[in-house]
Amino acid sequence: MYSSLNGIRQHFKTELSHRYSPRETEQLFYRLLSTCLGISKTDAILSLRNEIPTEKQEVMQTALDKLKAGTPVQYIDNTAFFMDDTFYVDDSVLIPRPETEELVKLLLDENSEAEMQVLDIGTGSGVIPICLSKNRPNWVVRACDISNEALVVARRNANDILKHSSVAFYKEDILSPKTQYAQSLDAIVSNPPYVLDSDKQEMKDQVLDFEPHLALFVPDNDPLLFYASITDYAKRNLKKGGRLYFEVHESYADQVKSHLAENGFNSIVSHADMQGKPRMVAASMP
């Protein structure tokens, strides 16, 4: 590894040319300088010819080796940016996507009530309930996940980000749920697993090799496995007029809508993401 910042930057470009464009590599270099070494992009540009200590060179080399192996940068610096906050992530949770931001914004836009009871199912890193609670501090927000490791991450993020509100996290297998709310919930939101097992061969290795399969995949013969279970759960636990919000695979939005209609929900609407793809479905409990 070169000892100057400029030398390290050029080394990144050479070593990562098979995986990233020069522009992407530049972004990764400056991001890792900031998140791992605490050197801002502005300061780095002003001191590219300066040498850095050996231990910092080693940090950047370790990060480079992981990038070459396909590790997502979010798992290298344990950082994911979501809405207006910085979240801790590791390989026990999915890396938050922009579509999930749109799901949170949809729920906030459609619900301005001062007080609500909301449940997030399959919370992962906790981005959904934490952002809901931060923006609606008077809401009672709960979140569950089947993974103990994910719940550790979610609680850590809640402790780091929330100052005047809170989220109650608990373990739950939504395919056989034990916790019941007896029609007391105003809203249920979920970004459940929805990628078919057969789609694995088409996925990027950064996702397939590093992100948790538990939070991604469903059997080919049951693509609505989690949607069906959550819909059934919502029928028992949403108030009259309560709302159910899903993030969905663009190929299954219509199937999710049909399933909700068959189960008595109304005001069923699919919402497009910024790419114009149907990635969210919302419905009301009659």
Please state the rounded mean pLDDT for residues 271-276.
Answer: 95
Instruction: Report the chain's mean pLDDT, rounded to a whole number.
Output: 95
How far apart (Å, rounded) are the C-alpha atoms in residues 23 and 266? Answer: 47
Model confidence at 113, pLDDT cuts 50, 70, 90, reads very high
State the Cα–Cα distance between residues 254 and 131, nearest whole angstrom: 28
What per-residue confidence (pLDDT) applies to 50? 87
- CA–CA distance, 46 with 148 (Å, rounded to integer): 44
Average pLDDT over residues 12-40: 95
Distance between CA atoms of residues 177 and 125, nearest Å: 20
Of all residues in the chain, the percent with pLDDT exceeding 70 is 99
Is a pLDDT exceeding 90 seen at residue 175?
Answer: yes
Does position 104 have pLDDT exceeding 60, yes or no? Answer: yes
Mean pLDDT computed over 187-202: 89
Q: What is the 3-state secondary structure (H, E, C) of 88-120?
A: CCCCCCCCCCHHHHHHHHHHHHHCCCCCCEEEE
Report yes or no: 184 and 153 within 8 Å, Cβ to Cβ.
Answer: no
Residue 283 has pLDDT above 70, yes or no: yes
Q: Which fold has domain 83-284?
A: Rossmann fold (3.40.50)
pLDDT at 15 over 60: yes
Cβ distance 268 to 261 under 8 Å?
Answer: yes
Q: Residue 70's pLDDT is what?
A: 95
pTM, two decimals, is 0.94
Quick one: pLDDT at residue 163?
83
Tens of pLDDT, residue by residue over 202-261, are 778 888 888 898 888 988 889 999 999 999 999 999 999 999 999 999 999 999 999 999
What's the confidence (pLDDT) of residue 1?
57
pLDDT at 195: 86
What pLDDT is stored for residue 110 in this prediction?
Answer: 97
- Transcribe the chain into DSSP letters: --SBHHHHHHHHHHHTTTTS-HHHHHHHHHHHHHHHH---HHHHHHTTTSB--HHHHHHHHHHHHHHHTT--HHHHTT-EEETTEEE---TTSPPP-HHHHHHHHHHHHH---S--EEEEES-TTSHHHHHHHHH-TTSEEEEEES-HHHHHHHHHHHHHH-SS--EEEEE--TTS-----TT-EEEEEE----EEGGGGGGS-HHHHTTS-GGGTEE-TT-TTHHHHHHHHHHHHHEEEEEEEEEE--GGGHHHHHHHHHHTT-EEEEEEE-TTS-EEEEEEE--
CA gap 146, 162 in Å, rounded:
23
